[in-house]
Amino acid sequence: MTAPLELHHYQVISAVRQTLIDLYADVRAPLLHLPNYAVSTFAERLGRHGTEPGFEAVVGYDQGHAVGYVYGNTIRFGDRWWTRMARPLGEEITAEPTLALKELGVRIPWRGTGAARRIHDELLAGRAERRVTLMVNPAAGDGKVLALYQSWGYEAVNEVRPSPEAPPLVAMLRDCR
């Protein structure tokens, strides 16, 4: 079943900031007690991400109710995204502008409906970058989230720990199309 969503694009953080924070708080509710997942920590990251080049968010609405989101921005050679990797990646990966998918989440009632994939694909469809990268906690959903991204064509390319409070993550990459 495909979720009946209306998809909205935002390139200016102020137009969507509170909606993203509210969605995040609901989607990540079981983890909010952990420092890296706290709403205040997310709000700080969101503030930084919203000012980075190529920022764009897509929010899915079902009958006017925000049910899921994705956002990212363009990264280039030397970006801290690439420099934090456990092992250096070659220039064949890091030299080309790439979409860094920073967050993706869907509220529980809309999980398993195709909403996450529709929101994700909507963001990628309009992007100029040829490739997209993301970081995922391999333990999320007992490995189901990692498996989902693999089913969408992402391949693991490295490991990363973005901050001391963050869990170890798997960096993944795929073509946008």
Supply the pTM of this predicted model.
Answer: 0.93
Q: Is the pLDDT of residue 1 over 90?
A: no
Nearest to 171 by CA among 112, 94, 111, 74: 94
In a domain, 86, yes or no: yes
Structure confidence by residue, pLDDT tens digits, 52-99: 999 999 999 999 999 999 999 999 999 999 999 999 999 999 999 999
- String of DSSP letters for 74-136: EE-TT-HHHHTBSSPPPHHHHSS-EEEEEEEEE-GGGTTTTHHHHHHHHHHHT---SEEEEEE
Name the band, by pLDDT with cuts 50, 70 and 90, for residue 3.
Answer: low
Number of domains in the chain: 1
Whether 12 is covered by a domain: the verdict is: yes
Q: Which of 132-136, 160-164, 170-174 has the lowest mean pLDDT?
A: 160-164
CATH code of the domain containing 130 = 3.40.630.30
Residue 1 lies in a domain: no
Q: Which of 119, 112, 168, 113 is nearest to 144 (CA)?
A: 112
> Is-contact 20 28, C-beta < 8 A?
no
Residue 117 counted as domain residue:
yes
d(CA 79, CA 63): 38
Host domain of residue 14: 6-175
If pLDDT is split at 50, 70 and 90, which confidence band does 164 have? confident
Whether residue 46 has pLDDT greater than 80: yes
